[in-house]
Amino acid sequence: MTRKVTKAIFPVAGLGTRFLPATKSVPKEIMTLVDKPLVQYAIDEAREAGIKEFIFVTSRGKGALEDYFDKAPQLERSLEEKGKTDLLDILKATNMESGEIAYTRQHEALGLGHAVWCARRLIGPDEPFAVMLPDDVIASEKSCLAQMIEAYEETGGSMVAAMEVAPEATKSYGVLDVKSTKGRVNDVAGMVEKPALGTAPSNLAVIGRYVLAPTVLENLSTIKPGAGGELQLTDAIAQEITDGRKVYGFEFDGRRYDCGSKAGYLQATVAFALSNPELRDEFAHYLDGVINHKMAAE
Ligand code: G1P
């Protein structure tokens, strides 16, 4: 039987340079989709999957992110006095209990693998754990991480979220070499981080959700820098296979938005606005107008 997964690591130390100048003062993880910060989507997804402890790997300049998780008693009082219970509920749903959230710092930008390694002392020696990259926002009926943990409880080992991408896009991802497939679960024979064009073992890409065996943390202490000269999480997971342990790629049910890119962020904004009951009609009407106007002009 697998041990319950109750901790998730959120690597949020990145500089977010693709969103400059906004990220000069706003951590990209608290940029919003409609009205909710990116990081809140990841936290809601984690809670639905049974995660109880949230570990953030931050860096200099992420103060606003830490503040976001504080309670806002003054604001709560003022909403209470005005009888704005709807807003009060929204606000309270984002509160974190003291001790439920931990922060550790990545002191140097040495890669995703290094960021996860920075949280090693907060994970027990026999404890499987999740990693969630808040840039990857996944819209799904059932939380993507919940789907994965359910599958992981059957398989054990380590599991990464996986999705087919266009062959020319594989160079931006970790890519899986698949041995065999059963339903949504792929038995993985190898993994390559950001393979050069034309060299990818498949077009099944790793998406930012992981359920990992504690040995991956040990591997992170010994692996050498990989793609881009950085310590890669992909390489530490691939090491599991070399050491005779199992790694699975889980093809989740849901739609993933790459909110680390401007195009993906805008697509997510449109999708979430269109699925918001308060905005849907007005926004769809507006989009129709924009598209018709453009077509008429062409
Ligand atoms: C990271 C991982 C990569 C994964 C991707 C998913 O890359 O290193 O394996 O495919 O996230 O979003 P990054 O996007 O940080 O370059």
The secondary structure of 252-275 as a DSSP string is: -SSEEEETTSHHHHHHHHHHHHHT
Contact indicator for 53, 10 with CB cutoff of 8 Å: no
Structural domains of the chain, ranges and CATH numbers in brackets: 7-260 (3.90.550.10)
Q: What percent of the chain has pLDDT over 70?
A: 100
Residue of minimum CA distance from atom 11 in ligand 1: 208
Best of 135, 171, 172, 250 for a ligand 1 pocket test (most atoms within 8 Å of beta carbon): 172
Q: How far is the CA of 166 from the centre of ligand 1 (A)?
A: 15
pLDDT at 103: 94
| pLDDT tops 90 at residue 142 | yes
Atom of ligand 1 nearest to the CA of 207: 6
Atom of ligand 1 nearest to the CA of 14: 15
pLDDT at 70: 86
Q: How far is the CA of 36 from the centre of ligand 1 (A)?
A: 23
Q: How far is the CA of 281 from the centre of ligand 1 (A)?
A: 35
Best of 17, 29, 133 for a ligand 1 pocket test (most atoms within 8 Å of beta carbon): 133
pLDDT at 47: 96
| pLDDT tops 80 at residue 251 | yes
193 beta partners: 174
pLDDT in tens, 95-129: 888 889 999 999 999 999 999 999 999 999 899 99
> Per-residue confidence at 296, pLDDT binned at 50, 70, 90?
confident
Average pLDDT, the chain: 94
pLDDT at 298: 73
**Which residues does ligand 1 sit against, CB inside 6 Å?**
112, 133, 136, 173-174, 193, 205-208, 232-234, 260
Best of 117, 164, 206 for a ligand 1 pocket test (most atoms within 8 Å of beta carbon): 206
pLDDT at 79: 92
Q: Which residue has the higher pLDDT, 190 or 294?
A: 190
pLDDT in tens, 194-218: 999 999 999 999 999 999 999 999 9
Residues contacting residue 15 through CB under 8 Å, at least 6 positions apart: 23, 59, 109
Element (H, E) at 208: strand 204-212
| pLDDT tops 80 at residue 294 | no
Q: Which residue has the higher pLDDT, 253 or 89?
A: 253
As a whole number of angstroms, the distance between CA 173 and CA 208 comes to 10
Q: Tokens 């393979």 label which residue? A: 195
Q: Is 7 exposed, middle or buried (0-12, 13-18, 19+ CB in 10 A)?
A: buried
Mean pLDDT of 150-170: 96
200 beta partners: none
Q: How far is the CA of 205 from the centre of ligand 1 (A)?
A: 9
Mean pLDDT of 124-153: 96
Q: How far is the CA of 112 from the centre of ligand 1 (A)?
A: 8
As a whole number of angstroms, the distance between CA 279 and CA 42 comes to 22
